[in-house]
Structure 1
């Protein structure tokens, strides 16, 4: 009885592993990253508006404009790359390796965007009433 139970459990585990759909996982991951990117893009647009409304008299005006512009451009690049990764069908090992490399590159760009946004916040301006 004990042997058959363990075999049934092994069979269930194998079925669960075989039923895992990498395409669905990749799609959901891509959508989640895209939604986070939209939130950050909205934040950058708000910071850009505040910076421009305060004018060039602010001591970090140029720094903020340049950092926000770089951040927005990199976010657009990440968005395009996420679309590419989302379209890749993970049917064979070559495609999985390609998607993995693109995903790792996207993570690197997201890290750069995060660092840039830390500097945007550090040099940022607060609109006073």
Structure 2
């Protein structure tokens, strides 16, 4: 079996999974989801700011959405720093691991913030009856 078997398998051999191609597709998909979440947060922030103090949880929602956006931007920035590190150099492994763990903490914080945020409801089509 040649070293390029994962790229172009020899005739008659079963196709194998190319780990690099899979990782690349997974990373691109994750990046698109991150952009979608950032766009959704920006849209929600716009809605809450337009609703103003009429929104029941105005201050809380602005705080949660802003926190989520900041955490997403920090995680993205750390990812860019991580991309610039040469992880083939063993002396960089510890630094890369620390940056990766901090980035993971920011992503987890963003997920928790978004979960809490969505429990307060942002759907402008739902009419709340406050006259009861």
With the length of structure 2 as denominator, give the TM-score of the two structures: 0.70
| Higher relative contact order (Cα pairs below 8 Å, separated by 6+ residues) | 1
Matched residue SS, 2:53: coil
For structure 1, which runs of at least 5 residues remain unmatched after alignment? 1-7, 17-23
TM-align CA RMSD: 2.6
Structure with a larger share of its residues in helix: 1
Out of 107, 115, 119, the position equivalent to 1:118 is 115
Contact 1:68 1:120 in 2 (8 A): yes
Task: Give the aligned length.
Answer: 108
User: For 1:124 and 1:70, how far apart are their aligned partners in 2?
Assistant: 17
Give the drift of 1:35.
3.0
Shift in CA distance, 56/67, structure 1 to aligned 2, threshold 3 Å: same
Q: Say which SS state the counterpart of residue 95 (structure 1) adopts.
A: helix
Q: Secondary structure at the match of 1:59?
A: coil
Partners of 2:28 and 2:34 lie apart in 1 by 10
Local SS of the residue matching 1:56 = helix
The residue that corresponds to 2:66 in the other structure is: 69
The unaligned stretches of length 5 or more in structure 2 are 7-19, 127-132
